[in-house]
Amino acid sequence: MVNILLMKTISQEALSAIRHKVECAGYRMSDVCRVAEIDQAQVSRWMSGTTEPLYGSVMRLDQAADALVSARLIVLNKAMEDAVK
Protein backbone atom coordinates (compact mmCIF):
# COMPACT_ATOMS: atom_id res chain seq x y z
CA MET A 1 0.00 0.00 0.00
CA VAL A 2 1.25 3.46 -0.88
CA ASN A 3 1.79 5.81 2.02
CA ILE A 4 -0.70 8.67 1.57
CA LEU A 5 1.36 11.08 3.68
CA LEU A 6 4.41 10.42 1.51
CA MET A 7 2.35 11.11 -1.63
CA LYS A 8 1.13 14.42 -0.16
CA THR A 9 4.67 15.42 0.74
CA ILE A 10 5.97 14.64 -2.74
CA SER A 11 3.13 16.60 -4.39
CA GLN A 12 3.72 19.59 -2.14
CA GLU A 13 7.46 19.53 -2.82
CA ALA A 14 6.89 19.33 -6.58
CA LEU A 15 4.43 22.23 -6.52
CA SER A 16 6.79 24.29 -4.36
CA ALA A 17 9.65 23.61 -6.78
CA ILE A 18 7.50 24.70 -9.73
CA ARG A 19 6.45 27.87 -7.91
CA HIS A 20 10.07 28.68 -7.03
CA LYS A 21 11.20 28.11 -10.63
CA VAL A 22 8.63 30.45 -12.14
CA GLU A 23 8.93 33.15 -9.50
CA CYS A 24 12.70 33.26 -10.03
CA ALA A 25 12.01 33.82 -13.74
CA GLY A 26 9.58 36.64 -12.96
CA TYR A 27 6.33 34.79 -13.56
CA ARG A 28 3.37 33.99 -11.34
CA MET A 29 1.61 30.69 -10.83
CA SER A 30 -1.39 32.18 -12.65
CA ASP A 31 0.82 32.40 -15.76
CA VAL A 32 1.74 28.74 -15.42
CA CYS A 33 -1.90 27.76 -14.90
CA ARG A 34 -2.91 29.62 -18.05
CA VAL A 35 -0.23 27.90 -20.16
CA ALA A 36 -0.99 24.48 -18.62
CA GLU A 37 -4.72 25.07 -19.10
CA ILE A 38 -5.43 24.16 -15.48
CA ASP A 39 -7.83 26.22 -13.38
CA GLN A 40 -5.92 28.47 -10.99
CA ALA A 41 -8.39 27.74 -8.17
CA GLN A 42 -7.66 24.02 -8.54
CA VAL A 43 -3.92 24.60 -8.30
CA SER A 44 -4.53 26.74 -5.22
CA ARG A 45 -6.39 23.82 -3.61
CA TRP A 46 -3.46 21.54 -4.42
CA MET A 47 -0.95 23.97 -2.96
CA SER A 48 -2.95 24.38 0.24
CA GLY A 49 -3.24 20.61 0.61
CA THR A 50 -7.03 20.61 0.34
CA THR A 51 -6.92 18.17 -2.58
CA GLU A 52 -4.21 16.11 -4.23
CA PRO A 53 -3.21 16.56 -7.88
CA LEU A 54 -2.81 13.73 -10.33
CA TYR A 55 0.72 13.02 -11.47
CA GLY A 56 -0.16 14.10 -15.00
CA SER A 57 -1.44 17.45 -13.75
CA VAL A 58 1.79 18.14 -11.90
CA MET A 59 3.72 17.21 -15.04
CA ARG A 60 1.60 19.62 -17.12
CA LEU A 61 2.37 22.42 -14.66
CA ASP A 62 6.08 21.59 -14.74
CA GLN A 63 6.15 21.53 -18.54
CA ALA A 64 4.31 24.86 -18.67
CA ALA A 65 6.78 26.33 -16.18
CA ASP A 66 9.71 25.09 -18.26
CA ALA A 67 8.18 26.61 -21.40
CA LEU A 68 7.76 30.00 -19.71
CA VAL A 69 11.28 29.99 -18.30
CA SER A 70 12.68 28.97 -21.68
CA ALA A 71 10.80 31.78 -23.41
CA ARG A 72 12.15 34.29 -20.89
CA LEU A 73 15.71 33.04 -21.44
CA ILE A 74 15.36 33.40 -25.21
CA VAL A 75 14.27 37.02 -24.80
CA LEU A 76 17.10 37.75 -22.37
CA ASN A 77 19.72 36.12 -24.62
CA LYS A 78 18.51 38.15 -27.59
CA ALA A 79 18.66 41.37 -25.55
CA MET A 80 22.21 40.54 -24.44
CA GLU A 81 23.29 39.83 -28.01
CA ASP A 82 21.79 43.11 -29.19
CA ALA A 83 23.53 44.99 -26.38
CA VAL A 84 26.93 43.58 -27.33
CA LYS A 85 26.61 44.54 -31.01
Closest C-alpha among 60, 59, 72 to residue 27: 72
pLDDT at 68 over 80: yes
Residues above pLDDT 90, as percent of the chain: 66
What are the tens digits of pLDDT across the range 29-65? Answer: 999 999 999 999 999 999 998 999 999 999 999 999 9
Phi, psi of 38 (to 5 degrees): -125, 135
Domain ranges of the chain: 4-84
Amino acid 16: pLDDT: 95
Q: What is the CATH number of domain 4-84?
A: 1.10.260.40
Residue 1 has pLDDT above 60, yes or no: no
Global pTM value? 0.82
